[in-house]
Amino acid sequence: MSVDPKLLDYCNTDHQRQIMQRLIAGDSGAEIARDMGVHRTLPDKVRRRVLEYAARQGYAPEAGIDHPVAEGFELRGYSHFTKTAAGEPIWLKTRAAERAYWQGIQGAIDGVQPVDAAILAIPPEPQSDIIPWLQIGDAHIGMLASEEETGANFDISIAEREICAAAAALIDAAPACERLVINDLGDGTHYETFKAETEASGHRVDQDTRYWKMVQAYIRITRFIVERALTKARTVDYIANQGNHSRSNDIWIAALIGALYEATGRVNVLRNESPFIAYRMGRTFVMVHHGDKAKPEACAKLMSDDYAVDWGETVFRYIDGGHVHHSQRKELPGCLFESWNNLAPRDKYAHDGGWRSKQCMTLVLRSRNYGETARIVMPIERVRDLIRAKQPDHYVPPAMRAFAA
């Protein structure tokens, strides 16, 4: 079966391109699978996925469609003039098939293989009392912002550089430890449907062009942080909170990370079917919730009701939240609530609504016996300086200035 060489223009990843090049050269799917160490059905799945994507972009010559649409757009359908068997003229109007949500996710994770435990070095004998918590506020990977509208540009590439740089610096600054918690506070992605909407409210957002690009970046960033944490801790506990922008993505990223690192025995993924996730460490008790479902006072009541035994046996109790992007610290009866800042700048919706907050990521050192003992804050200004030391062309927004008469 011959494969159209022009389909290389519609490969979205290097992995797809490698497989398509082999198919175009005439290699069989079995040969490709054997040489690349992938499942025998993957080459054909990649071929069909590339064909589908090309058709959505207006290229399907076998169906008489050869008029690619402009970058950033997608074919919604086409009309074809023909005649019936009786010779009557008719127009056939077709609509591009809606692709299942999970197909997009599958396309993004094709080729991702489980991590080999042998390549992950185990840190030296650590201290067991301190468990660092990396607090990743709403990352909003996939958001698009324009400097002219909001004061700062933002896209997937900027997000990836800044999140990874901040997380790496904070993890490197942590003490060698028995455990480390990666606390993704929700809204890791900016949206969760191909329509660039939040699923629950249907809120339309400004997105960086492609769903699959966002998903691939989310996976790369999460893997980078997990593997960086494994250089400092013998066990990493990963929490993916359900966010109102990213709820369905938060479910599958937790499942994916669990599958990828299961063989290592060193990554524990907390279950996130509930939007309230509880974590007990000696006399210290933490509950995390994105913040879109319940207010701080309601979270405190829920924490004491649902986890009454843990509440009664602990002295230091914390509720970690996100959602609002700015720091809130409220001492409630029996516990301390805190919402954590994020690194991402504001989008147009937040800018026009007048919402402002400091951009930073934080590492909190929590003791099993004494609760929080210290924290390290990584402001966005330092993150950019760290990046620009190695990549001088990294984007830094200019200061906003008033018109001068």
Helix (H) or strand (E) holding 215: helix 211-229
Residues 246 and 174 placed together within one structural domain of the fold = yes
**What's the whole-number mean pLDDT along residues 293-310?**
96
pLDDT digits (tens, 9 = 90+) for 282-292: 999 999 999 99
SS (H, E, C) 3-32: CCHHHHHHCCCHHHHHHHHHHHCCCCHHHH
Instruction: Calculate the average pLDDT of the chain.
Output: 87
Per-residue confidence band for 51, with pLDDT thresholds at 50, 70 and 90: confident
**Confidence band, pLDDT 50/70/90 cuts, at residue 181:** very high
Highest mean pLDDT among 34-38, 91-95, 348-352, 357-361: 357-361
Of 69, 97, 125, the last residue of a domain is 97
Domain encompassing residue 21: 5-97
Confidence tier at 98 by pLDDT (50, 70, 90) = very low
Residue 49 in this model has a pLDDT that exceeds 90: no
| d(C-alpha 148, C-alpha 139), whole Å | 21
Last residue of a domain, one of 42, 62, 97: 97
Judge if 81 and 182 occupy the same domain: no
In a shared domain, residues 119 and 231: yes
Asked if 115 and 212 sit in the same domain, the reply is yes
Domain-embedded: residue 316: yes
Examine the pLDDT at 97 and tell me if it is beyond 70.
no
Considering only residues 244 and 136, tell me which one the structure prediction assigns the higher pLDDT: 136
| Number of domains within the chain | 2
Please check whether residues 237 and 379 belong to one and the same domain. yes
Q: Decide if 290 is inside a domain.
A: yes
102 lies in a domain?
no
pLDDT for res 109: 62
Share of the chain above pLDDT 70, in %: 86
More confident: 73 or 211: 211
**In a domain? residue 21:** yes
Is 124 domain-assigned? Answer: yes
Whichever domain contains 368, its CATH number is 3.60.21.10
Question: What pLDDT does residue 36 have?
Answer: 86
Enumerate long-range contacts of 54-60, CB under 8 Å, 24 or more apart: 54/7, 54/9, 54/10, 55/96, 56/96, 57/10, 59/6, 59/9, 59/10
Say if residue 78 is in the same domain as residue 191. Answer: no
Which of the four pLDDT bands, split at 50, 70 and 90, describes residue 43?
confident
- pLDDT (mean) for 164-177: 96
Q: Which of 97, 124, 141 is the last residue of a domain?
A: 97
* 261, 219: one domain: yes
**Does position 99 have pLDDT exceeding 70, yes or no?**
no
Mean pLDDT for 1-6 is: 84
Query: Are both 35 and 90 inside the same structural domain?
Result: yes
Q: Is the pLDDT of residue 232 over 90?
A: yes
Q: Residues with Cβ < 8 Å from 47, sequence gap 6 or more?
A: 3, 19, 20, 23
